[in-house]
Chains A and B, each alone.
Chain A
Amino acid sequence: MTSAAKADAPLLEVANLTISFPGDVGLVPVVEGIGFSIARGETLAIVGESGSGKSLSALALMRLVPRPGRIAPESRVRFEGEDILGLPVPAMRAVRGAKIAMIFQEPMTSLNPVVTVGAQVVEAITLHESLSRQEARARALEMFKLVGIPDADKRLDVYPHQLSGGLKQRVMIAMALAMRPKLLLADEPTTALDATIRAQILAVIRDVAARTGTAVLIITHDFGVVNEVADRVAVMYAGQIVEEGTRHEMLRHPKHPYTQGLLRSIPRPEARGGKLEEIKGVVPRPGQWPKGCRFHTRCAFAYDRCVAEAPRRTAVTATQGVWCHFAEEGRSP
């Protein structure tokens, strides 16, 4: 690959990613054959209900799928043209935290409770770069200021339990971005936070990522988050992607009944007093996925073809694609 082609290639390319866990009868897939890509500096949101496999997909990009889960050998993850899944362990460690960083849903428990937050950010730096403690501390301080932690100088020396949830998540962001990674994985970063803090944290992620040129993969179940930060959106259901497209396409012209259902279940100010719609039922558990289209058991429009046959990707526009028989047949549900 020439350097020009490399610059053009997406930052991250995922193809055929399958993650399975051993069950009573062999391996049970939890994520099955998903694919997506992220360009440099772009923000992709993966949306879905709990149990759709979106968090595991993000962990797989770091090769941090918890034991005994495993990534199937036919899965492909290319980051800056490099095969992440084939990297030797030390090379993978050099990627983690330095080129791809991650923040998690629970800022309360994601920081080491017995180490000062400053030391934890310093560790994230010195694991990858041989800096003196003072230099690393100066970088940590700079990051604290960048993510808007007030009294940053003093806050370096406090323990996690002395900070609020919002500040802890800012520390996590500072730690994740300290090495200027190319890609930030944010797994439901605002779910555990108060509504008022939520918007602030999203703004920090958006602004700091924009300033450092970091691409973001944000995982959420909340279309409000999508609206705030995403450039593109992929919707996951039962271990598969069912629809993908730009933010505008997905919010304005969703084609999949599941995406439409998710959007209708958002409370809107103009619909006050009306009944909030919901998608009946729950996501089927791995190993109990129905045949055909996996959504057919909850889909109001399902007909015999949905039960019998799994839908293929239908391109709606150059950027939007949907896995639904209605779109395949050129009809709307």
Chain B
Amino acid sequence: MAAYLVRRISYGAVTVLGVLFLLFVLFFAVTNPDDIARKAVGERARPEVYVQWKKNHGYDKPLFLNREYAASNAKRYTDTLLFEHYRSMLTFDFGRSDADDTPIADRLLKGAGPSLSLTVPLFILDVVVAVAVGLFVAFFRETLIDRTVLVLCIFTMSVATLLYIIAGQYLIGMLLKWFPISGYSGDSSVIWRFLALPVIVGVISGFGSDVRLYRTIFIEEMGRDYVRTARAKGAGDARVMVAHVLRNALIPIITNVVIAIPFLFTGSLLLESFFGIPGLGAMTVEAIQGNDFATLRTMVYLGALLFILGQILTDVSYAIADPRVRLS
């Protein structure tokens, strides 16, 4: 297991290096630092301002060891943007925002709280509801209950999330006035009032596909021989479903669930921007709209990093749930 983990982590490290290269190509070769600087200072800014801005943000170096490098007064390969890109990302020294010059590290710290306060309850509720409903309809498979829930799932899957957001804000926020339409508060006693609506919308828009997936997993497990053995021992329906079917289905469920855990940190792009939650998802959307390349680059990099982390976490939890993996 330890050797396997080391191998997985080193694969992950290689992947990170590759991701960083692609990021570099996308951010500095496809759009170049000159464009970024010009957009930041404005078309009509004086040349000194433009040059100074480039210098402040570290965009004044040659891209890599090319003709530009030979013409500049750079002395070493460390004076290139490529090297600087790898150095800053790998050491988590993200620099300052292109939009408002605040340190990106500060923005990450500030946004993580609101993001987690939305995504953690949403994630837990989604998993609990989807697993419980999935187990329930799997038990009643091929009956009216099962078909009704399936139709409901397909219906909720077919409606765009945006519609849920708008409908939720209109019905629950405006007409019923149960919860505020949008907004956020750091005060922990009222925070739930702001989070209720986005969490409800998030669960409704996500649960259809999850219920269907879990139902399939459960039904597959229910057909296995050991389930028949459990019944032949005299186990009742509840015991068969929970102690045997659910316990075995945990293995595929974990694959689906654990990989999402790191992404709780980066928040939800849609829900945060529509419900005015000042999290990292909203920050990312703002960065896209405001040409804040430094922030965007950081978020894409962190997303890739978290994805790789999620995969490694999945492997570890897989081993915990399945003795056949753990003991081999």
Contact = CB atoms under 8 A, between A and B. Distances in A.
A93 B228 contact: no
B186 interface: no
B235 A127 contact: yes
A124 interface: yes
Interface string B209-251: 0000000000000001110111111111001000110011001
Interface residues of B, number: 24
B190 interface: no
A3 to B, nearest CB: 26
Given A114-B323, A159-B327, A109 B233 contact: no
A113 interface: yes
Contacts of B225: 104, 106, 109-110
A183 interface: no
B152 to A, nearest CB: 23
Contacts of B236: 90, 93
Given A64-B228, A112-B226, A114-B323, A128 B234 contact: yes
B232 A64 contact: yes
Dominant SS at the B interface?
A: helix
B171 to A, nearest CB: 41
Nearest to A67: B142
A309 to B, nearest CB: 39
A104 B234 contact: no
Given A109-B224, A110-B226, A124 B233 contact: yes
A123 B233 contact: yes
A112 B230 contact: yes
Nearest to B247: A114
A101 B232 contact: yes
Interface residues of A, number: 32
A304 B225 CA distance: 44
Contacts of A262: none
Given A93-B234, A97-B234, A123-B235, A112 B323 contact: no
B226 A113 contact: yes
A219 B327 CA distance: 35
B68 interface: no
A112 B75 CA distance: 66
Contact of A113 (B142, B228, B324): B324
Nearest to B232: A102
Interface in A91-122: 93-98, 101-102, 104, 106, 109-115
A118 to B, nearest CB: 13
B150 interface: no
Nearest to A64: B231
A127 to B, nearest CB: 5
Given A110-B225, A113-B226, A123-B233, A162 B248 contact: no
Nearest to B251: A114
19 contacts: A66-B228, A68-B142, A90-B236, A93-B234, A93-B235, A93-B236, A102-B232, A104-B229, A109-B224, A109-B226, A110-B228, A110-B229, A112-B230, A113-B226, A114-B247, A114-B251, A115-B247, A159-B324, A175-B233
Given A97-B233, A162-B327, 16 more contacts: A62-B232, A94-B234, A96-B234, A97-B234, A104-B229, A109-B226, A111-B226, A112-B229, A113-B322, A114-B322, A127-B234, A127-B239, A159-B323, A159-B324, A161-B324, A175-B229
Interface of A: 62, 64, 66-68, 90, 93-98, 101-102, 104, 106, 109-115, 123-124, 127-128, 159, 161-162, 172, 175
